[in-house]
Amino acid sequence: MHHQFISMTKRQKWAAGGICFLLLAAALYFYMGLEKENVRKVRRNMPVVQVQEVVRADMGRHIILSGQTVADASINLAPKYSGRIAAVYADLGDWVEEGQVLMIQELEDLDISIAQNAAAAGAARADARETAATYNANIISKKNAYELVSAKYERQKYLFSIGAISQDTLDSVEAEYSAAKAAYEMLANQQAGGMAAAIESKELTAVKQEHVTEALEKQRADMILRAPRSGVIAYRNAEAGALAAAGTKAFTLVDNGHINVDCTIGENDAAVLQTGMVVNVTIDALGRDFAGKIIFVSPAMDDDSKSYRVRISLENPDSTIKAGLFAHTAVDILQRPQTIFVPQAAVLVRNGEQYVFVLREDGTVERRLVKIGLLNDEAEEILEGLTEGEKVVLTNQDKLQDGMKVKVTEE
């Protein structure tokens, strides 16, 4: 065999060498192709992320307030007592002044009752005066009689002591004295606080009757329905001759002299809003803006809506603004000056820990725990865990692991 190889011609040697070279080149080409394919596969499997550089800046909160315009007052008016309506003096859309009569119920029967009770009160008061006069006359008479008999009894006791009169005579005078004393004390003991019981009873009867009269007069006044303040009649359900039931709404009085806007907000916004903040309110139906001021922020959450109520007072409203129009505004509040904060999308939570992925210079990411401070609708303040100039990952965090290499598409 060796002999055969040695005896090969030069041409055959060149052919064999060429075949070997081609085989080697083919093997090298195949190996390089596999390496490139592996690199392409690695690159295809590399997560694509967006990042943002951490900077220190003022952190603010943009609060959008939306609600409806409300009148300064919207009052439902209803009769206090049932009764037939005698006259109605206000129509739908009428402007009425404070104290103006809107409706009167029939008063004839009530006027008769007032007159009767007033007469009864007068009679009771006269009876009390008569009783007082009689009592005062009686007590004066009994007092004088008692004093006379008392003086006589003292003289008789002296005469008896010197033997001038008999025991029977003294006993007779003593009995007369005891009777006069008892009659006087019976009247005197009726007095309490300077007034005798008989007089006080008559006086209380008169006072009771006077109170009944006052109650009837108050009822009569209540059966004349008046406007409690100036405004427009926005509802009317009253006609002369109809029966008005107690407590049933007859009118609605709306005072548009001042307009507010009532809004509802969440607890995070309620924590930073304060009264006195100046806002610019847009009313879409009018296509106009109005200056306003926050005058009320509810101190407690509403149990039903789980929200807080905010009232904005419009500074110079005009007659074109009606209650119930949609209105909105926005307030920008500085939460913290020159602090570090990142978009909410950068912060993840797992097992009670808050963390972000930080892009290293070598293109890999680091899972890093952070401590969160203030929040707004878009960002979260980072108190610990990040420094200015680092880059945090905003997308595809669910595909990341600590130390994984990533591809950044846009900063």
- Using only C-alpha atoms, the chain has a radius of gyration, in whole angstroms, of 52
Q: Are residues 213 and 343 in the same domain?
A: no
- Read off the tokens for 354: 């808050």
Domain boundary among 336, 361, 390: 336
212, 205, 213: which is closest to 125 by C-alpha? 205
Residue 174: inside a domain: yes
- Read off the tokens for 344: 């909410």
Q: What is the pLDDT of residues 227-278, one digit of tens each?
A: 999 999 999 999 999 999 999 999 999 988 889 999 999 888 888 899 999 9
- Read off the tokens for 121: 């009160």
Give 24 or 409, the one with higher predicted confidence: 409
Which DSSP state fits 229?
S
Residue 327: inside a domain: yes
Q: What is the pLDDT of residues 198-227, one digit of tens each?
A: 788 888 888 999 999 999 999 999 999 999
Q: Are residues 7 and 87 in the same domain?
A: no
245, 9, 189, 208: which is closest to 117 by C-alpha? 208
| CA distances (Å), origin 75, targets 56, 69, 238, 249, 250 | 53, 16, 16, 10, 11
Residue 348: inside a domain: yes
The residues, any chain, with a CB within 8 Å of residue 199's CB and separated by 6 or more, are: 128, 131, 132, 135
The CATH code of the domain that includes 229 is 2.40.50.100
Q: Are residues 119 and 130 in the same domain?
A: yes
Instruction: Give the C-alpha separation, 138 to 133, whole Å.
Output: 9
Instruction: Report the range of poorest mean pLDDT among 54-63, 139-148, 280-289.
Output: 139-148
Instruction: Count the domains in the chain.
Output: 5
Residue 16: pLDDT band with limits 50, 70, 90: low
- Read off the tokens for 247: 């407590």
Beta bridge partners of 205: none
Checking if the pLDDT of 40 tops 60, the result is no
Domain that residue 23 falls in:
2-45
The CATH code of the domain that includes 173 is 1.10.287.470
Q: What is the pLDDT of residues 155-204, one digit of tens each?
A: 988 888 888 888 988 889 889 889 888 888 887 777 766 677 878 888 88
Q: Per residue, what are the HEC states of 350-409?
A: ECCEEEEEEECCCCEEEEEECEEEEECCCEEEEEECCCCCCEEECCCHHHCCCCCECEEE
Residue 53: pLDDT band with limits 50, 70, 90: very high
Q: Are residues 41 and 179 in the same domain?
A: no
Q: Are residues 214 and 122 in the same domain?
A: yes
Residue 67: inside a domain: no
Checking if the pLDDT of 293 tops 90, the result is yes
Check residue 137 and give its pLDDT: 86
Residue 129: inside a domain: yes
Q: Are residues 228 and 213 in the same domain?
A: no
Checking if the pLDDT of 39 tops 60, the result is no
Instruction: Report the range of poorest mean pLDDT among 106-115, 216-225, 315-324.
Output: 315-324
Q: Are residues 126 and 208 in the same domain?
A: yes
Residue 63: inside a domain: no
Checking if the pLDDT of 109 tops 80, the result is yes
Tell me the pTM: 0.57
Q: Are residues 123 and 174 in the same domain?
A: yes
Give 140 or 354, the one with higher predicted confidence: 354
Give 110 or 6, the one with higher predicted confidence: 110
Q: What is the pLDDT of residues 349-370, one digit of tens each?
A: 999 999 999 999 999 999 999 9
Q: Are residues 140 and 239 in the same domain?
A: no
Instruction: Give the C-alpha separation, 340 to 375, whole Å.
Output: 12
pLDDT mean over 18-32? 67
Instruction: Give the C-alpha separation, 183 to 245, whole Å.
Output: 60
Residue 89: pLDDT band with limits 50, 70, 90: very high
Residue type, 241: G
Check residue 42 and give its pLDDT: 45
Residues 409 and 363 sit within 8 Å (Cβ to Cβ): no
Check residue 3 and give its pLDDT: 47
The CATH code of the domain that includes 342 is 2.40.420.20
Q: What is the chain's mean pLDDT, rounded?
A: 87
Residue 281: inside a domain: yes
Residue 74: inside a domain: no
Q: Are residues 117 and 217 in the same domain?
A: yes
Q: Are residues 131 and 217 in the same domain?
A: yes
Checking if the pLDDT of 49 tops 90, the result is yes
Check residue 373 and give its pLDDT: 92
Q: Are residues 263 and 274 in the same domain?
A: yes
Give percent of the chain above pLDDT 90.
57
Check residue 193 and give its pLDDT: 67
Checking if the pLDDT of 341 tops 70, the result is yes
